[in-house]
Amino acid sequence: MASPSGKWDARYLGPVPHDTSYYAKCMLGGVLACGVTHAGITPLDVAKCNMQVNPAKYNGLVPTLKLLSAEEGSRGLWKGFGPTLVGYSLQGMFKYGLYEVFKDTYMNLAGEEASNKYKPLIWLAGSASAEVFADIALCPLEMTKVKIQTSPNGTFPTAFGAALAQMKATKIETRYPFGSLVPLWSRQIPYTMAKFFFFEKIVQLFYTHVFTEPKETYGKGTQLGVTFASGYLAGVVCAIVSHPADSLVSLLGKAENKGKSVGQIASETGVASLATKGLGTRVIMIGTLTGFQWWIYDSFKSAMGMGTTGGK
């Protein structure tokens, strides 16, 4: 689609113009993609966080789920559902919506030739920029979620409202609301850069080497299949890249680490432990999560007539 001025404009490269309505719909798609998926795998997240903060007691996904269920009942597996749903809905809104905004902005700043030549760098810059804002929205709720999920049974409120009130009342101790922002950035920015870069790259490879006809000639089912496969593979890479920082975010919520700096916790835990404890569970969780996030996001975009993400 040509721009009204007749000049090259990244906002007019797709099937519909990237106007305010387009970006707003992308934000809503991000809410659906991230909020629903993260909340839906809360039991895996509870298990992963406990394996990170107490590996001596919680060792392995299935044994951890069984032990948590035995100790706290089935409700214990869904601890933190509320802040997870709200926090990751907000994060998804900014992550996906602002990615589209920043990607178009950076492409227009670079111009047509440079945009085509340095497309991967634009993916990386756009996703990193979006995630900075996404994490500011997420941080207070992520801190609350981790505190709920990793506190020994009966020592911290599990109800959403009561937990938020307790975090606020003990903000000197918990460093609420932005005490985990730097570790969160260190986890989420590399994760999101990998998530968007590898997704876009894998989609590009699919349409270059597997589905070699023009993308628009394939049905929605095929395009969304490519979306899910690309998202899943990108998610596996994301999990590995961001796991050490994810471990640190979990460890910051542990009572024994109260008052310790991020560097001190990292030094005491060790690089190998930060990089491996709970990694298998997180690979399964993030691979599936990322695949479904992209599938939901592109399904929503497709239903709105906006087309699926990526291509040659």
The larger pLDDT score, comparing residue 5 to residue 204, is at 204
Instruction: Sketch the domain layout of the chain as residue ranges.
Output: 16-152+160-303
What is the pLDDT averaged over residues 81-108?
A: 97
The residue whose two tokens read 């920015």 is 189
pLDDT, residue 2, reads 64
- pLDDT: which is higher, 289 or 67: 67
pLDDT at 1: 62
Q: Distance between CA atoms of 116 and 7, rounded to whole angstroms? A: 16
Percent of the chain with pLDDT over 90: 66
User: Which pLDDT does position 270 carry in this prediction?
Assistant: 82
- Estimate to the nearest angstrom the gap between the alpha carbon of 74 and the chain centroid: 26
Most confident listed range (187-191, 247-251, 259-263): 187-191
Mean per-residue pLDDT, 125-132: 98
pLDDT for 220: 94
Q: Is the dihedral of CA 89, 58, 279, 274 positive or negative?
A: positive
Q: What is the mean pLDDT of the segment spanning 154-180?
A: 94
CA distance 216 to 218: 5
Chain centre distance of CA 13: 26
- What confidence score (pLDDT) does residue 111 get? 95
Q: Provide the pLDDT for residue 142.
A: 95
Residue 246 has pLDDT above 70, yes or no: yes
- Higher-scoring residue by pLDDT: 224, 51: 224
136 has pLDDT over 80: yes
CATH domain 16-152+160-303 topology: Mitochondrial carrier fold (1.50.40)
**What's the average model confidence in pLDDT over 145-166?**
93
Q: Quick check: pTM over 0.85? A: no
What confidence score (pLDDT) does residue 258 get? 73
Task: Give the pLDDT confidence of 40-74 residue by residue, as tens digits.
Answer: 999 988 998 888 888 889 988 899 999 999 999 98
CA-to-CA distance for 210 and 218, rounded, in angstroms? 12
pLDDT at 217 exceeding the cut of 70: yes
Helices (H), 6-118: 20-40, 42-53, 61-72, 81-110, 112-117
What is d(CA 184, CA 178) in angstroms, rounded to the nearest whole number?
9
Helices (H) and strands (E) in the chain, counts: 13, 0
Place 245 in a pLDDT band, splitting at 50, 70 and 90.
confident
| Mean pLDDT, the chain, integer | 91
